[in-house]
Structure 1
Amino acid sequence: MAGSQDEDSRIAEGIYDPSVRTLYGALRVFDPDVVQSILDLVANLDGLSLRLAREKEYRHDIGNVNPSLWGIVRRLWAAITLAHEERDLENAPNLFDLCQSLAKFTRNLVAAEPANQKRTFENEPYMRALVYQYTSYTAMQDVNSFAATRMLVQALSNLVTANDPLAQELWQAYLNLPEEQLILLRLFGSPDDRTIVSTLVFILNCIHGKPERMRLLLSSPRGPRVCIGMLDRLNALVDADESSDLGKAFEVGYQVFAELTSEGLLPELYDTLAIDEEVITPHQTTLLKILDSYLQTSPSDQQAHISGTLVQMLISIFFTLSTYAQEAIQRSLGPGNADDHESPIETVTTPLSNGLNHSDVSDTPVAPAALQELDLLLPKVCEALVLVAQSLTTLILRVEGSSKDGSSNEPGTSAKQSVNAAASPSGEGLVESLVKTLRFLDIFVPRITFGKVVERPAPPGSTAQPGSAQTSSAQSPPPGFNYVKRDLVRLLGTLAADSRDVQDRMRACGGIPAVMNLCVVDDQNPCTEHAIFALRNLLHENKENQAVVDAIKPVGRWDERHVLQGL
């Protein structure tokens, strides 16, 4: 790429390093249509890249000793960007190697060198334009382009790492781009795992320890779209092997959202991801998964200043999800099976561990033989309910534990008291809503015992013939229902521990028999241990609750076919 004679002379006079002089010579005669010309430039760039990576002092001094270097770098980026724009990448495979070599050279040149970062930053528009080209549909179908894409992202990342002014300028610009030019979102569409890792590292480097830049992910025009792109990829990586590239991508992506959580931005982000008339979105569910992991793995002192905000968020989500689940199950059960306290319905429980059936004092509805309606969103709602219950339980237990060992000044039962005192907009308490949801789920979700669906008996006094039973048409519940009863009853037991108020409220709303009904073997919802623990907490030093259990008498026994027989 020839320049004017005067310009060439000025640049040549400012070069004192033989390697840089050779690089400039290759650039002057560069012709993107001549393969050997490309190869010569690649060889020179790769040689300098290796030395820049190995010798920190050389990296620090190269721009000072060779003041013309920055003009050379600018001409390199301009020339190679133009070569990509004027040619079809499918027919110019050598440009992949050239782009990779230039990006690697730039990445190593600016690494941990603020002065080099500042001088190179003027080339960012060229780098962005190339990333845009390499994230086109055609380019992403060619595996040979992946290395160049990764190197471009790594160069952008090193360009702003630990350089607050540049990071702020770049981050704000990127989150205000028109959506069709939003390269961060385009990068998340790459089929290359290592490109995803590099992209997430780039984002983490931009926001690390900077609340104002984290907030831009919520408040800027394109910030929420970037969050959605990250959550889409992370949702597919949850089960990835930790040692694989996919596992590394999940870990870096998790760190991005962990930083947002530690800054107290998660509730606002959750609301930002909402869609009108949707009770829960896939991205909100993924965010709840990340929150659950954060609460279980991060130190308690990192959670102390945001625990109150998280508890209030989770309470609000719980009421939304539990109300939806109750209404959806009610529609499925059909008319005449409403959970109506004014018209109690005669029921029986399913088998207890001793093989006897007990009369049930609750008004839990009995499922009909066939469902009237099936809500396809209900499994997703139950999946989210599991995450909310787990997160609330973790918050309560961790806050209490940190208080008892003296590592926190926050009152040990503050999170628990908030949950116990919570009420829905209609005035229903969280404890009562929790019990009602459990009772509906216990009827709606069939029990799987040793791989077989447990037959549900007809209630005493019904017109069913002796020995007949109602059988669920499903062989197993959808995956979204797995463990929902287990985690809800675990939360219930946690709330009831050492709380006379919760014990009495549970008795008043018929929660004791509901918990007893869960003391059974269920392969899909292994909740026996948690139900027994909850029952213990409900009965502890509460004679009224103990009397309720004593009043529940056996009315029959189950034979080997799980059919109810008279005593």
Structure 2
Amino acid sequence: MLQTQEDASTLTSSKELLDLLEQYQSSVAPSTPQDDTTTREIEAYSNLEAHLGRLSQLLARDASQRHALVASGALTCILESLSAFFPFFQSMQDARPRPVAHDQQDLLDGQHDVSTEGEHRDSYQRACQVATLYLRIIRNAMAGCSDAQHLVGRRFDLVAPFLDNLTRFHTLNDPDAALLSRSAVQMLSNLITANHEVQSTMWPRIVITNTDQDKLVLKFLSSPDTATQSAAQILLINFLRTATSTEAAHVRCYELCTSAAGLQLLQSLLSTSESIMLRTSSATHDGSNQDYEPESETEGLEESLGFIYTIFALLFERGYSSILVSELAPLEEISGFESDRPVLSSAQLTLLKLLDSWLHLEQKKVAESSADGAVFDLSSAFDGIEAGRQGAGLAGLMDTFVHLSRFARTAMASGIAKDGTSPDQQPQDRRLIGVHHGLLLLLQSLLSISMTADGWSDDVQDGVAAVKFGEVSRALLSEMRGSQAFVDELVALLDQTHQYAPALSPFRPSDVETGAPDARRPLPQGHALSSTGRAAHESNHHATPSYGFDHLKRDIVRVLGSLVYAPTAATSTKDTHSQLDPSTSSSRDATLAWTRTQIRQVQDWVRDRGGLFHVLNMTVLDERNPYMREHAIFALRYLLAGNAESQNLVRSLQPAQTQPQPRDGPGGVPLPMV
């Protein structure tokens, strides 16, 4: 025991550390012969490395030594010696070999000195290792030690030059400094973890700052090293997830979603997320890529993606979904061509992917469990400021859908081939592809909300802050049902998409698209085109663009069906009490009456806009929209339920023939497009 205490006292001795550091730095001085310098440098480096390594391990094992390190003043000495070591580190960094391209040019010029290249590189690597051990000591000293955190926070200027150097482009992309960068980010993470006072100081200094030099977190997030990125992501999570000061966490989320520095950081995260999705997807589906993406690297990428998802999940839980979608919109650009002005940014698209995943997961949790636990952590501080936080920040998704839908309908209308011209000759708006993906993600997100509500509308009163996902879902379903603009846009987009990309029958002849003579072969006597055959026949006669808006019509029909789906009075969900929380049976009856009133309203709106006929036209097989017919039948069942006017309209439909038929062959039954 006494021996252990003596060892700890020796390791934390400031004098011995300074002596070892002085010996190491002096051994690299150019005054001595070269061979002797290398030998002395390696010996001095080994002694210093061993001392720093043992001290780092001691602090990692023994929490009491961390407090002793602060009380004795040794931690202050370590910070000061690290600051004094920085000029030496910079000199080693400047003396390291230049990139290969420069070396090859020097070799052609006769200026390349091969004998010193390895020595300079080795000296720089040793300097990196010493700096790494210094940062690990500081990191370990602050683990669960608030005194050390406060001390480092007050003396942060001593380590700031090192951090600034590490976040420069060349150092950040230097493989020799990768471990050093990781240790630096881990040190920052331990500095602010569970310490509200230090967090309040460091947040505006290294995260939300207008000075590019101080944007340390942003720069570490852009590191090519996945482990460094992950450490920076954990650092950001520790800033946003604080148990001691919930209101401070809300303020940070607000600044992250509204300030220029915060949005720049979030865009970096979204760009990294999209890159990881592409890399992991290609590695999964293409075995040949395994040579370039080792399994360990893929696991690191997936872990990093999980951290990014956690960051955005925290923002979603605090009601910033719609605000983020709006703030990440592409900037207005001065362009001579309308088609060059972006409608949906790549950051918005990636954000919608994360939001769709989060909503689907929350919907699954409610479906699999009778309990509807608290999900949203909403602060009242910004309720009067942010209109985008309505409906726990999800109500604005309807406005985004309407905006994208109107653009898509206009672009599709101008892209339909006219007067028998070839679809390839008709100019198509290239922005439609991104907008199509955005519409799909929005529809799937809204569908997750509707499915969680299970058909129930909730007339939420002002001033009531719902924090359960089921409650928020029912309130949002009520808003969707109450928005005539939203319902009208669903119907209009379904109609326009059907005109732009008619159903593609799986039973069409293989030579229909080639224009072979057999494609016009008449039907056998006594046979008629089925609905799928007629769809293929019509799509063959009307020139349409090759881009088919896959799955869009199906998802529109699914959302329409969810708007008119009527729950029963007895069975709302697995647990009526937890979902509706009625105090009496009268409140449950009132909720049911409100739900039925809203459903009838949606039924009438859809009928008045001709939506019944559009949904009827979806009762065909379509390769571009799997299971669309089944979803259309489901939607029709509830569009007609309890609505005599809609039922009479469908009942009044009569068979019609669009072309003469053989005497013995019955005609088809096409439905009018209204």
Query: Which residue of the partner structure matches residue 381 of structure 2?
Result: none
C-alpha distance in 2 between matches for 1:257 and 1:309: 14
C-alpha distance in 1 between matches for 2:198 and 2:217: 17
Query: Which residue of the partner structure matches residue 384 of structure 1?
Result: 438
Query: Which residue of the partner structure matches residue 422 of structure 1?
Result: 483
Q: Which among 633, 639, 642 is matched to residue 541 of structure 1? A: 642
Question: Which structure features the higher share of helix residues?
Answer: 2
1:314 matches 2:387: no
Q: Which among 77, 82, 90 is matched to residue 85 of structure 1? A: 90
For structure 1, list consecutive stretches of 5 or more residues without a partner in the other structure.
1-14, 337-365, 424-428, 458-463, 559-563
The one-letter amino acid of 2:197's match is P
Contact 2:457 2:478 in 1 (8 A): no
Q: SS of 2:25's equivalent?
A: coil
Deviates more, 1:307-316 or 1:281-290: 307-316
Change (3 A) 1:543 1:367: farther
| Mapping 1:421-500, distance limit 5 Å | 421-423=482-484, 429-445=485-501, 447-450=503-506, 469-470=540-541, 477=548, 481-498=549-566, 499-500=599-600
Q: Which among 11, 14, 20 is matched to residue 19 of structure 1? A: 11
Contact 1:207 1:214 in 2 (8 A): yes
How far does residue 198 in structure 1 lie from its aligned partner after superposition? 0.6
Contact 2:322 2:395 in 1 (8 A): no
C-alpha distance in 1 between matches for 2:358 and 2:511: 40
The one-letter amino acid of 1:246's match is L
RMSD of equivalent CA atoms: 3.6
Change (3 A) 1:55 1:247: same
Deviates more, 1:527-536 or 1:135-144: 135-144
| Mapping 1:521-536, distance limit 5 Å | 521-526=621-626, 527-536=628-637
C-alpha distance in 2 between matches for 1:122 and 1:18: 26
| Mapping 1:50-65, distance limit 5 Å | 50-64=57-71
How far does residue 98 in structure 1 lie from its aligned partner after superposition? 1.8
Q: Once the two structures are superposed, what CA deviation does each residue of 1:18-43 show, in whole Å capped at 9, x if it has no partner?
A: 11234343123231733433333222
Q: Once the two structures are superposed, what CA deviation does each residue of 1:84-125 show, in whole Å capped at 9, x if it has no partner?
A: 333325542222222221221111111111001111224534
Q: Which among 336, 346, 350 is matched to residue 286 of structure 1? A: 350
Query: Which residue of the partner structure matches residue 528 of structure 2?
Result: none
Q: Once the two structures are superposed, what CA deviation does each residue of 1:529-556 show, in whole Å capped at 9, x if it has no partner?
A: 3222212211223343334444445557
C-alpha distance in 1 between matches for 2:21 and 2:252: 38
Deviates more, 1:501-510 or 1:129-138: 129-138
How far does residue 419 in structure 1 lie from its aligned partner after superposition? 1.1
The one-letter amino acid of 1:218's match is C
Contact 1:176 1:220 in 2 (8 A): no
Query: Which residue of the partner structure matches residue 340 of structure 1?
Result: none
Change (3 A) 1:304 1:16: closer
Percent identity, aligned pairs only, is 25
C-alpha distance in 2 between matches for 1:490 and 1:295: 16
Contact 1:367 1:443 in 2 (8 A): no
Change (3 A) 1:452 1:48: farther
Deviates more, 1:199-208 or 1:115-124: 115-124
For structure 2, list consecutive stretches of 5 or more residues without a partner in the other structure.
1-6, 29-40, 98-120, 243-248, 282-295, 333-341, 366-371, 379-388, 459-467, 514-519, 524-536, 567-598, 660-664, 669-674
Contact 2:618 2:629 in 1 (8 A): yes
How far does residue 328 in structure 1 lie from its aligned partner after superposition? 0.9
The one-letter amino acid of 1:437's match is L
Contact 2:270 2:347 in 1 (8 A): yes
Query: Which residue of the partner structure matches residue 342 of structure 1?
Result: none
Deviates more, 1:163-172 or 1:27-36: 27-36
1:326 matches 2:409: yes
C-alpha distance in 2 between matches for 1:471 and 1:256: 48
Q: Once the two structures are superposed, what CA deviation does each residue of 1:279-303 show, in whole Å capped at 9, x if it has no partner?
A: 3211122222222222222465324
C-alpha distance in 2 between matches for 1:450 and 1:476: 17
Q: Which among 155, 180, 183 is matched to residue 216 of structure 2? A: 183
Change (3 A) 1:139 1:452: farther
Change (3 A) 1:100 1:552: farther
Q: Which among 249, 252, 258 is matched to residue 213 of structure 1? A: 252
TM-score of the superposed pair, with normalisation by structure 2? 0.67
How far does residue 369 in structure 1 lie from its aligned partner after superposition? 4.7
TM-score of the superposed pair, with normalisation by structure 1? 0.78
Q: SS of 2:12's equivalent?
A: helix
Deviates more, 1:315-324 or 1:518-527: 518-527
Q: Which among 17, 21, 31 is matched to residue 25 of structure 2? A: 31
The one-letter amino acid of 2:600's match is R
Q: Once the two structures are superposed, what CA deviation does each residue of 1:59-99 show, in whole Å capped at 9, x if it has no partner?
A: 333322xx130332122321332223333255422222222
Q: Which among 269, 278, 285 is matched to residue 230 of structure 1? A: 269
Number of equivalent positions: 501
Deviates more, 1:511-520 or 1:199-208: 511-520
How far does residue 448 in structure 1 lie from its aligned partner after superposition? 4.9
Change (3 A) 1:48 1:448: farther
